[in-house]
C-alpha cells in the first residue's frame, strides 16, 4: 500500500530469511533490512537522506549540512519497545509512527519529543468507540476491493486450513515454528478432516 497506493519513493521493510525478504519485495518494498541487526546503521547505509537547499533566515547559527530524511512513516509489527529507540533516530522530524503491538511506551526525553514525532496505535477494535458506522466500512472495503482488483494491493494469504480442532492445532504449530511467510486462514469450506466449527 505504501508503495503502490500512496506512491512513497522508498519503502524499507525488515526481514531476515531469504523467503521473507522475497515476500517483502513482492509486496512493494524498495529496500529490505535485517530486523536482527542494527536498524539505524542499516538505514544509514541505504543513503536515503538527501540535501536540502534553503536560505537560512534565522539569527541563530544554521546547520552546515541539513538533510531531509525520507523516512517519515514507520509501521511497527514487532515488539514495540524493542524498536522505539531506533525508530526515533531513523524517522524524520514531524514523522508518524504506528504500532499494532501492545506495549508500555515512554516518550519523555526521547527523540520522539525532540523531533515532534506522532505516535498512534492501530487497533481494529477502535472502531467500536465511534459507534461503528457500517456504511463507512462498506465504503472502505469497496475501495480496498478495487485496489486488489487493480493489482495495487496483494494478498498475504499463503495457506488455508479447515476450521476444525486439527486445523487450529496445525495453524498454531506453523505459527509457533516462526518460519511462516504470510497469513494462515481457517475456513468452514476448506478441505480437510473433521466437522468444522460453525
What's the CA gap between 143 and 122, in Å, rounded?
A: 19
Residue 166 belongs to what domain range?
Answer: 155-198
Per residue in 56-105, pLDDT tens? Answer: 555 666 554 445 567 899 999 888 999 999 999 999 999 999 999 888 98
What's the CA gap between 166 and 192, in Å, rounded?
A: 9
Q: Which residues of the chain have pLDDT under 50?
A: 64-66
Q: Are residues 9 and 95 in the same domain?
A: yes
Q: Tell me the whole-structure pTM to 2 decimals.
A: 0.75
Per-position b or e across 162-198, b if 16+ CB within 10 A of its CB = bbbeebeebbeeeeeeeeeeeebebeeeeeeeeeeee
Q: Are residues 28 and 73 in the same domain?
A: yes
In a domain, 134, yes or no: no
pLDDT at 111: 92
pLDDT at 65: 47
The three grid cell numbers given for residue 138, joined into one nine-digit string = 462498506
pLDDT at 61: 60
Q: Are residues 160 and 94 in the same domain?
A: no
In a domain, 6, yes or no: yes
Strands 157-162 and 183-187: parallel
Amino acid at each position: 500500500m505504501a508503495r503502490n497506493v500512496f506512491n512513497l519513493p522508498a519503502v524499507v521493510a525488515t526481514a531476515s530469511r531469504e523467503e521473507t525478504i522475497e515476500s517483502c519485495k513482492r509486496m512493494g518494498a524498495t529496500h529490505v533490512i535485517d530486523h536482527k541487526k542494527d536498524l539505524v546503521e542499516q538505514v544509514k547505509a541505504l543513503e536515503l537522506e538527501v540535501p536540502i537547499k534553503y536560505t537560512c533566515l534565522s539569527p541563530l547559527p544554521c546547520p552546515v549540512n541539513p538533510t531531509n530524511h525520507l523516512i517519515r512513516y514507520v509501521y511497527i509489527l514487532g515488539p514495540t519497545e524493542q524498536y522505539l529507540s531506533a525508530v526515533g533516530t531513523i524517522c524524520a522530524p514531524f514523522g508518524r509512527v504506528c504500532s499494532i503491538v501492545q506495549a508500555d511506551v515512554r516518550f519523555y526525553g526521547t527523540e520522539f519529543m525532540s523531533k515532534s514525532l506522532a505516535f498512534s496505535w492501530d487497533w481494529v477494535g477502535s472502531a467500536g468507540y465511534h459507534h461503528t458506522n457500517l456504511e463507512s466500512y462498506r465504503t472502505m472495503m469497496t475501495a480496498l476491493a478495487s485496489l486488489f482488483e487493480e493489482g495495487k494491493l496483494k494478498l498475504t494469504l499463503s495457506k488455508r486450513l479447515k476450521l476444525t480442532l486439527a486445523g487450529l492445532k496445525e495453524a498454531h504449530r506453523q505459527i509457533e515454528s516462526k518460519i511462516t511467510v504470510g497469513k494462515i486462514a481457517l475456513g468452514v469450506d476448506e478441505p480437510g478432516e473433521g466437522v468444522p466449527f460453525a
